[in-house]
Amino acid sequence: MARMRIGISLASAQPGAGDAEAAARVLARARAAAAAGLDSLTLGDHHSNGPMPYVQNVPMLGRLLAEWDHRPAGCLFLVPLWNPVLMAEQIGTLAAIAEGPFIVQTGLGSRGEIGAMGLDVPHRARRSEASILAVKALLAGERVDDDELGLRDAAIAPRPPRGVEWWHGTHTDEGLDRCARFGDAWYANADVDLAMANEQLPRYLAACDRHGVTPPRIAIRKDVFIADDDARAVEVGQRLIDAGYRGGWGRGAVAFGSPDHVAEQLAPFGELGFTDVIVRTMVGVEQDEAVRSVELAGRVATALA
């Protein structure tokens, strides 16, 4: 089995933080991830989250790239919420700043977010596919006309000098097939436990077989809490689970413990065929322990090498 890469998805939501403090917390975790030698750095994408501070991906990543190096970096775009030209321009500029490969993660967004932004998107999956194809064409230097998307002779610059990786967050048959048809990576949801992964991964691989595609990556996100003291990590992690973590996620959807203990919990995903685990510190962990958790993720990566 090849080494399973350990990347990080930084928590953009910072409940209880002041506005400036929210950005500072994310910056501190990014610096810890860089020092820990993690394999990739990404940010999420959500909208209309007030009054809870949620740092937005494009400006925040622009700042964080000053702390990063040639390792892959990028962010999630909830595609139906973005004008394709604007999305392509943001990707092109961020990728020009980045020293290494750029990752574009995609999702559909919630109907609440869509409504809050004054959009009318009755068919999110169809809109997402059309937009992804338009963005790919724009990033390739093409001029794009698309009546459905309302695009007229669109072109963008700068464009990514080192290319773009596309990771699609989905679990439906339609989404997995689209991911394979595009020749892109699948990005499994954070709440997927081993049993769910055993059911979903074969469907993606079957779709790849149908389309004659070799999966470029198979990634999964995992909420984790890592501490020097295993008992402390279990105490905090189990308390969060018992309180109904993220609306009732099961214990198998998260990992917590010492670095070796967390590596033991993540290793079965590598045995299934996942190439990348993207960790995010569990919601509800205090900032000092969250930063230490990110630092210790480097030891998890070493244990899984």
Residue 2 pLDDT exceeds 80: no
- Quote the pLDDT of residue 215: 94
Mean pLDDT of 254-281: 97
**pLDDT over 70 (residue 1):** no
- CA dist., res. 219 & res. 178, Å (int): 16
3-state SS, residue 74: strand
Output the pLDDT for position 121: 85
Q: What is the pLDDT of residues 218-266, one digit of tens each?
A: 999 999 999 999 999 999 999 999 999 999 999 999 999 999 999 999 9
Percent of the chain with pLDDT over 90: 95
Summarize pLDDT for 11-45 with one digit per residue, the tens. 999 999 999 999 999 999 999 999 999 999 999 99
Question: Residue 283: what residue type?
Answer: V
**Domain boundaries, given as residue ranges, for the chain:** 1-17+26-35+217-305
Q: What is the pLDDT of residue 6?
A: 98
**Per-residue model confidence as pLDDT tens digits over 123-134:** 889 999 999 999
Q: What is the DSSP letter of 258?
A: S
Band the pLDDT of 53: cuts 50, 70, 90.
very high
On the 0-12 / 13-18 / 19+ scale of CB atoms within 10 A, 28 is middle
pLDDT of 274: 97
Mean pLDDT, the chain, rounded, equals 96
Mean pLDDT of 139-151: 96
Instruction: Find the mean pLDDT for residues 101-123.
Output: 92
Sign of CA dihedral 243, 278, 263, 179: positive
Alpha helices (H) in the chain, listed in sequence order = 19-36, 57-64, 84-97, 111-116, 124-139, 173-181, 194-211, 230-242, 259-272, 287-303
Cβ contacts of 255 within 8 Å, gap of 6 or more? 222, 223, 224, 225, 262, 265, 266
